[in-house]
Structure 1
Amino acid sequence: MPSPANPILDLPYDVQPDPDEFLQAAMEWHFNPETGSPFWLRRAETLDFDPRTEIKVHADLRRFPDVTGELRHVRAEDLIPRGYGPGPDIVGVFESGGTTGAPKRVVLTRDWLDRMVAWSNANIDAHGFPRGENWLGLVPTGPHIVGEFFHRSATTHGARGFTIDLDPRWVKKLIAQGRGADAGAYALHLLEQAEFVLRSQDIGVLTITPSVLERLAGREDLVELVNHKVKAIRWGGTQLDPDSRHLYKTEIFPDVAICGNYGSTMILGFAGERAGLPDDEPCVFDPLSPYVTFSVVDPATGEPVAYGDRGQVLVSHVSKGFLLPNNLERDLATRLPANGALVGDAVADIAPVATFEDEPVIEGVY
């Protein structure tokens, strides 16, 4: 039988836990020999502190080392907390995009997926997304976690999900080899497939990456088709510059609800665009705090930058199903205050760093 967890770890998505009480309960869960994962129980032996007694507030998470590189090699089974028992409800094992070498892997539990999707559905409700519509997603599927989140969103907020598979690894390889024309041809291939679906099916919500959306916006026939059929566009991945966002919302798709999300595999989800922002202001992203928290830091010192300044995004994921604190992402952002009394930062103006882990960062179709 699964070991009992502190009830604060299982609160509904819309009940905000006390962040310190939640963090301490999570540390007990992940580092108790009866409930923690084999990976973190082994890793605890190498730490110079005891997480169960010394990690008490959000700032204490900075004491953890960044272990994301180890996720390239660890057995997936070793990442599952023992407290879930012998038959854990695991949705799948998912991989990063492989931007900086061999992909990293995470394990997605059913309870975390349900929490993330419920929170996300509420976020797009606030942006005016209609419920009960068919969704079309030009998103990575296969080993990529975004495909799973797309399908769950499409079938819980919408009705059905139609997908056009997008392979970011192949596009990045083409660009790295100087085959920009081939990468462009691949993007056109994606749009051709999307057009077949849009012309033949009732699609109310379009999920797309900023790069592919830019190409779609350059096709007058597709713009007309989207404006005729689609009621909402959700863009996701990393960056969409403020000028393009303003142009999409006010001129190209003026009657379509548009909002974005910022996510990655290491987050095990995404942050949602803050509702109510003026069209001509930067897009601000708020994570599902205290489960996912952002800090914006000076990469040279690791210290937080001032509000309004730019730095590198540091992410911590602390949930019942997974623990990944102190993960330095490959993105730069402007640091902004969190929404309300949430712990951590909000972020805006996302852009990739030039190099990460000594490898050039190629965004490709993201």
Structure 2
Amino acid sequence: MSRVVNPVLDLPFDAQPDPDEFIRAAMEWHFSPDTGSPYWLERAKTLEFDPRNDIKSHDDLKLFPNIVNELREVRAQDLVPRGYGDAPEIVGVFESGGTTGAPKRVVCLSDWLDRMVAWSNANLDAHGFPRGAHWLGITPTGPHIVGRLFARSAATHGTMGHTVDLDPRWVKRLIAEGRPEQADAYAEHIIDQAAFVLRTQDIGVMAITPPLLERLARRDELVDLVNRKVRAIRWGGTQMDADTRHLYRTEVFPDVTLYGHYGSTTILGIAGQRLGLTDDDPCVFDTFSPYVTFSVVNPETKRVVRYGERGQVVMNHVSKALLLPNNLERDLATRVAPLPGNIGDAVADIAPVTHFEDEAVIEGVY
């Protein structure tokens, strides 16, 4: 049986809690001996502050050390808050892409996935995605949360989801080992599988990564199939530059809704493309505030840059299910003012750094 929880942590997905009240409630939940996770209760002993007393606002999250590298070795069960009781409803244990070494690992609980998908589905509605369509997912599955997000979105916003196997770590390994021709052959194999589905099924929504969408767009037959059948494309996983996005929207897939998302395993979710952007606007991403928030900082000083300036993305996840604050990501972005009522930053013009944690960053197909 789960412990008593402050109602502010269980509000409907479309309710906007007071951000400071929310942060204080989250600190009480994650650092109380009865409700906090074994990991954070032990880690708190090493902190130079008391989270229950000293973390009172979103801005205070920067006091936390960046602990994501510890997630390479932490036992998954130690990340689950005790407040969920003896039989927590766990959706899955998910891992980062392994772009910069051994993957980091997080646990996703059912109530968080329900909340994240409800928010995402509302965004899809706002962007004109058809309800009840059949979906095709050309995205990673396995230990990658994007696969579970796809499956839940396809089932709740659509009717059913068709999937294609995709192992992005294999592609990255091939590229790192100087075997680009094998990486190329594998990517073409992925598109071959997608072609079988597009030819035979009534696909109305497609989820795909930008590198694979580019490969698909090289095949005239598949472009024709997409334009004839698919009403909306959700892309994400790697960046899409403004020129490519403009080309897709105006020439390649002119009548197909194109909607992007930007996310990370370590936030257990995604940020969504801002509504109302023109073909010439940069692609701005807004977070699911106050649960997922970004800041854009100078890589050297870690100070927030001005709006319109570029910096490195810092991500925070604060929910009843997980606490993962102050995570310096491997991405650069332009800082954009958030939507009214949101806390943290919106971001645009996402691009990876060339090196992160002393490792070369290889994106491949995801």
Common fold: TM-score over 0.5: yes
- Aligned 1:192-207 pairs, distance under 5 A: 192-207=192-207
- DSSP 3-state at the match of 2:131: coil
May I ask how many residue pairs the two structures share in their alignment?
366
Paired amino acid for 1:110: S
Partner residue, 1:33: 33
Tell me the alpha carbon deviations over residues 218-238 of structure 1, each in whole angstroms, 9 at most, x when there is no partner.
111110111011010000113
In structure 1, list runs of 5 or more residues that go unmatched: none
Tell me the alpha carbon deviations over residues 245-288 of structure 1, each in whole angstroms, 9 at most, x when there is no partner.
01101111011011000011111011000011011110000010
Paired amino acid for 1:115: R
Tell me the alpha carbon deviations over residues 197-233 of structure 1, each in whole angstroms, 9 at most, x when there is no partner.
0111110000000000011111111101110110100
Partner residue, 1:109: 109
Paired amino acid for 1:203: I
Report if aligned partners of 1:138, 1:163 keep a CA contact under 8 Å in 2: yes
1:54 pairs with 2:86: no
1:328 pairs with 2:318: no
Report if aligned partners of 1:24, 1:56 keep a CA contact under 8 Å in 2: yes
In structure 1, C-alpha distance between the alignment counterparts of 2:157 and 2:103, rounded to whole Å:
30
In structure 2, C-alpha distance between the alignment counterparts of 1:85 and 1:306, rounded to whole Å:
44
Partner residue, 1:308: 308
Partner residue, 2:44: 44
- DSSP 3-state at the match of 1:293: strand
Tell me the alpha carbon deviations over residues 170-206 of structure 1, each in whole angstroms, 9 at most, x when there is no partner.
0000000111111111111001000000111110000
1:67 pairs with 2:72: no
In structure 1, C-alpha distance between the alignment counterparts of 2:281 and 2:221, rounded to whole Å:
29
- Aligned 1:1-366 pairs, distance under 5 A: 1-366=1-366
Query: Normalising by structure 2, what TM-score?
Result: 0.99
Paired amino acid for 1:316: N
In structure 1, C-alpha distance between the alignment counterparts of 2:166 and 2:323, rounded to whole Å:
28
Identity of aligned residues (%): 70
Paired amino acid for 1:353: V
Superposition deviation, residue 341 in structure 1: 2.3
* Root mean square deviation of aligned Cα: 0.6
In structure 2, C-alpha distance between the alignment counterparts of 1:283 and 1:106, rounded to whole Å:
28
Paired amino acid for 1:7: P
Report if aligned partners of 1:121, 1:157 keep a CA contact under 8 Å in 2: yes
Query: Normalising by structure 1, what TM-score?
Result: 0.99
Paired amino acid for 2:289: S
Runs of 4+ in structure 1 off by over 4 angstroms are: none
- DSSP 3-state at the match of 2:46: coil
In structure 2, C-alpha distance between the alignment counterparts of 1:141 and 1:341, rounded to whole Å:
33
Tell me the alpha carbon deviations over residues 341-364 of structure 1, each in whole angstroms, 9 at most, x when there is no partner.
211000000000000100000000
In structure 2, list runs of 5 or more residues that go unmatched: none
In structure 1, C-alpha distance between the alignment counterparts of 2:165 and 2:122, rounded to whole Å:
26
Paired amino acid for 2:339: N
In structure 2, C-alpha distance between the alignment counterparts of 1:339 and 1:237, rounded to whole Å:
23
